Amino acid sequence: MGSRKKVHAFVRVRPTDDFAHEMIKYRDDNKTIDIHLKKDTRRGVVNNQQTDWSFKLDRVLHDASQDLVYETVAKDVVSQALNGFNGTIMCYGQTGAGKTYTMTGATENYKHRGILPRALQQVFRMIEERPTHAITVRVSYLEIYNESLFDLLSTLPYVGPSATPMTIVENPQGVFIKGLSVHLTSQEEDAFSLLFEGETNRIIASHTMNKNSSRSHCIFTIYVEARSRTLSDEKYVTSKINLVDLAGSERLGKSRSEGRVLKEATYINKSLSFLEQAIIALGDQKRDHIPFRQCKLTHALKDSLGGNCNMVLVTNIYGEAAQLEETLSSLRFASRMKLVTTEPAINEKYDAERMVKNLEKELALLKQELAIHDSLANRTLVNYDPMDEIQIAEINSQVRRYLEGTLEEIDWAQLAQVQGVLSLCLPSQQEQEVESTLRRKYTLIDKNDYAAISAVQKAGLVDADGHLVGEPDGQGFGLGVAPFSIKPGKKSKSKKMFKEQLSSSARKEGASSPLSGKDLDVSTSKTQMILSSKDGDVKDMLVRDRETSNTEPLASDSPKEELRPPRPSTPPTKPVAFEDFKNERGSEINRIFKENKSILNERRKRASETTQRINAIKREIDMTKEALNLQKSLREKQGEYENKGLMIIDEEEFLLILKLKDLKKQYRTEHQDLCDLRAEVQYCQHLVDQCRHRLLTEFDIWYNESFFVPEDLQMALKPGGGIRPGMMPLNKIVSLGEDDQDRFGQLQQTMLPEGPDSVSFYNAKVKMEQKHNYVKTMMGLQQAHRK
């Protein structure tokens, strides 16, 4: 490939009983022909006439069968054509030397068929051997006679050269004949029919126009286009094989042509000498201009002579002494042809449609990969579609509010997109600051930011109340009023840890309060009591959580799998698909998720109510303390009760002290309740987080499976799968037993002398003869009518 290659030139000698052994000698290398001419004694004593020539070619074919000729001359060219290389095979020589015999062969005898039918057979055999490729074959048959172009496969009745004249057109892809019919053939027999039709038309045309068929050039072209059946292969190859049966090469001087015949001979010589000029130019490396356009023959073959194609010349010669002069001239042409070098190259093309499809596929795969990364990094439902103006404005506003300090954190769901926008709206230092904050995992949405909430709600991340799904409700706890030792936002702590924290915080409170150790004990045991009383719910959730974990192999054997709708051509957006998922495979997880969420919300509500009560108690404590202080200062001013070291207080003050003690007790109880509730909220929170994560992970898997896994892989993955549509079931193959196949083969062999291979050849032939006979009858009728 890509390397320079010489044109292959062969000589085929027509068999004769009168072979000129004295004059034509072959050397042992099977390549060299030596010609010896006796001196013309009439030229006198001083005779400088050359008498010996030697021609070294690629092979001399003497007494060679059609089989051997095909193997030697054409086989490689044809097989290379299926790999995308153009090929040209030409037969050159004197009229009657065997060009047509070599190219077309005897149509009445299968064994004597020529290169053309054999090339068609090879093409179709090779297609059968390449099931991985979709290969199309087209053929055309052009005749050039007196510088006019004729379509030998025209389906229209032949009406002569004036009808729709064909033209030779050049474009970057090459040369083609405008107006020439090109016929798609899907099997050997069709191709043979076209060939025979062309041959018959050639004969009929020569009859009706009174033209000598040996004086025309005929170009049979096989166009091959091979595409890989694997869709991912964007490249495809095209090639054409030109099989050229040239007109007789005899020179004008010899045949005493007159009138019309002279005109023909002149033309033939002209076009053949232009062909020779083009060949000489091609053989001369210094020449950059090749005169292709001097005649129709070279113009039509412009991209098939030299250049990037495999080229072969067969020179047909007579073996008789009488034809030696023409033989010499033919051999000279052959050796000139051998000097031409070509640079065969594959004709590769790109399938734009496939390229687009593959890019789309790659995009989908990359998105899938991103989704996997996101779910691994706990960032589910990140949308990578381009953002609209509203989304961009929303992110800008979030960033601005964050920088101003009015927004605590930025919505992580849009993190990936924010990073893209940051560079547009922030100076670099701020950018870094914001980015580092963004990298922190979990965040809250500003409760006053309705636009953000509705955006996230759409994505399924926020519930109807506007709570970010499973997130602690920061505002509901009244953090500024009641002092808590447990800070919100710490996740994934075990229940035991919460218990420990609770009791230690209770102990701390107890130590700093004026209450006795007994009170402390009571409150601690009460904490445990509260926890165990709520254990029922918690256990319930735990069980459900475990159930969820056990639903892992939901994937393929779930009966819900069958309910999956047929895969649409364009996948739905994630929010839309998520709704479907929640009603389908994800329904169980979603139900558990919802239940846990409602338990969580209920606990939160209780916690919020408790907080309000605590705040009310605290206010009362403060008020009571104030009243007590007032009483104390009044008493101190009066100084009336300080007798004998005894502190005497009045009833009002005493009642206030009792009330304060009671309030403090209440405060403590409520506070313990709140701590318990908070522990529970955190625990529920954890479960809800887990459920949500699971829901989203399952969703991602489902989404990718449903819309992105290739169909054949899905089939293969299904139990009992592996048989693709279009595959033949095994029992069908088995049903045609070996005996049947043998009998079929024998039947064909007894019917046809050349075995089953010749079936299509003879079928096409019979059809053509029937048609030909019909044409003959019609012509006879016309003549009779004229008379």
Output the known binding site for ATP. Answer: 93-100
Q: Which is nearer to ligand ADP, 91 or 194 (CB)?
A: 91
Write the DSSP symbol of residue 321: G
Q: Which is nearer to ligand ADP, 83 or 95 (CB)?
A: 95
Q: Residue 715 contacts by C-beta under 8 Å, 6 or more apart in sequence? A: 721, 722, 723, 724
The number of residues in the chain equals 787
Helices marked H in 308-388? 324-338, 352-376
Q: Give yes or no for a contact between 305 and 291, defined as CB atoms under 8 angstroms apart.
A: no
* Least distance CB 100 / ligand ADP (angstroms): 3
* Whole-number Å distance between alpha carbons of 435 and 440: 9
* Whole-number Å distance between alpha carbons of 757 and 744: 13
* Least distance CB 727 / Mg ion (angstroms): 49
How many angstroms separate the Cα of 249 from the Cα of each of 60, 276, 775?
19, 11, 32
* Least distance CB 204 / ligand ADP (angstroms): 17
- The partner in contact with residue 15, picked from ligand ADP, Mg ion, none with C-beta cut-offs of 5 to 8 angstroms by kind, is ligand ADP
* Least distance CB 206 / Mg ion (angstroms): 11
How many alpha carbons fall within 13 Å on the CB side of residue 26? 16
Q: Give yes or no for a contact between 312 and 8, defined as CB atoms under 8 angstroms apart.
A: yes
How many alpha carbons fall within 13 Å on the CB side of residue 378? 10
- The partner in contact with residue 33, picked from Mg ion, ligand ADP, none with C-beta cut-offs of 5 to 8 angstroms by kind, is none
* Least distance CB 314 / Mg ion (angstroms): 13
Strands 133-145 and 217-228: antiparallel
Phi-psi region of 255 (alpha: psi -120 to 50; beta: other; left: phi over 0): beta
- The partner in contact with residue 396, picked from Mg ion, ligand ADP, none with C-beta cut-offs of 5 to 8 angstroms by kind, is none
* Least distance CB 330 / ligand ADP (angstroms): 11
Stretch that binds Mg ion, among 209-217, 445-453, 466-474, 746-754 (CB under 5 A): 209-217
* Least distance CB 95 / Mg ion (angstroms): 7
> Taking the C-alpha atoms of 456, 458, 463 and 467 in order, what is their torsion angle to the nearest 10 degrees?
20
Q: Which pair of structure tokens corresponds to residue 460?
A: 């399924």
**Which residues does residue 8 pair with via DSSP β-bridges, in sequence order?**
312
Number of continuous H segments (helices) and E segments (strands) in the chain: 24, 19
H/E stretch holding 389 reads helix 389-404
* Least distance CB 765 / ligand ADP (angstroms): 16
- The partner in contact with residue 97, picked from ligand ADP, Mg ion, none with C-beta cut-offs of 5 to 8 angstroms by kind, is ligand ADP
* Least distance CB 289 / Mg ion (angstroms): 32
Q: Which is nearer to ligand ADP, 214 or 383 (CB)?
A: 214
- The partner in contact with residue 488, picked from ligand ADP, Mg ion, none with C-beta cut-offs of 5 to 8 angstroms by kind, is none
Rule CB under 5 A: is residue 216 a binding residue for Mg ion? no
Q: Which is nearer to ligand ADP, 246 or 434 (CB)?
A: 246
Q: Which is nearer to ligand ADP, 95 or 341 (CB)?
A: 95
- The partner in contact with residue 93, picked from Mg ion, ligand ADP, none with C-beta cut-offs of 5 to 8 angstroms by kind, is ligand ADP
Q: Residue 350 contacts by C-beta under 8 Å, 6 or more apart in sequence? A: 234, 235, 236
- The partner in contact with residue 383, picked from ligand ADP, Mg ion, none with C-beta cut-offs of 5 to 8 angstroms by kind, is none
- The partner in contact with residue 756, picked from ligand ADP, Mg ion, none with C-beta cut-offs of 5 to 8 angstroms by kind, is none
How many angstroms separate the Cα of 63 from the Cα of each of 13, 16, 114?
7, 9, 15
- The partner in contact with residue 14, picked from Mg ion, ligand ADP, none with C-beta cut-offs of 5 to 8 angstroms by kind, is ligand ADP
**Which residues does residue 148 pair with via DSSP β-bridges, in sequence order?**
145
Q: Which is nearer to Mg ion, 14 or 296 (CB)?
A: 14
Q: Which is nearer to ligand ADP, 215 or 354 (CB)?
A: 215
How many alpha carbons fall within 13 Å on the CB side of residue 53? 20
**245-264 positions binding Mg ion, by CB under 5 A:** none
Q: Would you tell me how many other CB atoms lie within 10 Å of the CB of residue 652?
A: 12
* Least distance CB 99 / Mg ion (angstroms): 5
- Would you give the binding string for Mg ion spanning residues 76-115, x where CB under 5 A is met? -----------------------xx---------------
Q: Give yes or no for a contact between 291 and 298, defined as CB atoms under 8 angstroms apart.
A: yes
* Whole-number Å distance between alpha carbons of 618 and 135: 89
Which residues here bind ligand ADP, judged by CB under 6 A?
Answer: 14-15, 93, 95-101, 214, 248, 316
Q: Would you tell me how many other CB atoms lie within 10 Å of the CB of residue 257?
A: 15
Stretch that binds Mg ion, among 208-216, 381-389, 507-515, 601-609 (CB under 5 A): 208-216
Q: Which is nearer to Mg ion, 101 or 223 (CB)?
A: 101
**Three-state secondary structure of 620-643:** HHHHHHHHHHHHHHHHHHHCCCEE
Q: Which pair of structure tokens corresponds to residue 172?
A: 């970057």
What angle, rounded to 10 degrees, do the helices at 651-707 and 574-583 form?
A: 100
- The partner in contact with residue 84, picked from Mg ion, ligand ADP, none with C-beta cut-offs of 5 to 8 angstroms by kind, is none
Query: Sign of torsion, CA 187 189 192 194?
Result: negative
* Least distance CB 64 / ligand ADP (angstroms): 7
SS3 content of the chain, % helix, strand, coil (to 5): 55, 15, 30
**588-607 positions binding Mg ion, by CB under 5 A:** none
Q: Would you tell me how many other CB atoms lie within 10 Å of the CB of residue 138?
A: 17
Stretch that binds Mg ion, among 184-192, 206-214, 260-268, 755-763 (CB under 5 A): 206-214
Q: Which is nearer to ligand ADP, 91 or 301 (CB)?
A: 91
- The partner in contact with residue 608, picked from Mg ion, ligand ADP, none with C-beta cut-offs of 5 to 8 angstroms by kind, is none
Q: Which pair of structure tokens corresponds to residue 546?
A: 């475990």
- The partner in contact with residue 316, picked from Mg ion, ligand ADP, none with C-beta cut-offs of 5 to 8 angstroms by kind, is ligand ADP
Which residues are known binding-site members? 93-100
* Least distance CB 307 / ligand ADP (angstroms): 27
Q: Which is nearer to Mg ion, 214 or 666 (CB)?
A: 214
How many angstroms separate the Cα of 230 from the Cα of each of 123, 133, 226, 570, 711?
21, 8, 12, 21, 14
Q: Which is nearer to ligand ADP, 63 or 602 (CB)?
A: 63
Residue number closest to ligand ADP, CB atom: 98
**Which residues does residue 244 pair with via DSSP β-bridges, in sequence order?**
90, 219
What angle, rounded to 10 degrees, do the helices at 651-707 and 587-638 form?
A: 160
Q: Which is nearer to ligand ADP, 97 or 530 (CB)?
A: 97
Query: Sign of torsion, CA 772 778 782 783?
Result: positive
- The partner in contact with residue 101, picked from ligand ADP, Mg ion, none with C-beta cut-offs of 5 to 8 angstroms by kind, is ligand ADP
Q: Which is nearer to ligand ADP, 149 or 314 (CB)?
A: 314
- The partner in contact with residue 524, picked from ligand ADP, Mg ion, none with C-beta cut-offs of 5 to 8 angstroms by kind, is none
Helices marked H in 405-533? 415-425, 428-439, 450-458, 495-512, 517-533
Q: Which is nearer to Mg ion, 114 or 344 (CB)?
A: 114
Q: Residue 407 contacts by C-beta under 8 Å, 6 or more apart in sequence? A: 398, 401, 446, 449
* Least distance CB 64 / Mg ion (angstroms): 18
* Least distance CB 214 / Mg ion (angstroms): 5
Instruction: Using CB under 5 A, list all residues that contact Mg ion.
Output: 99-100, 214
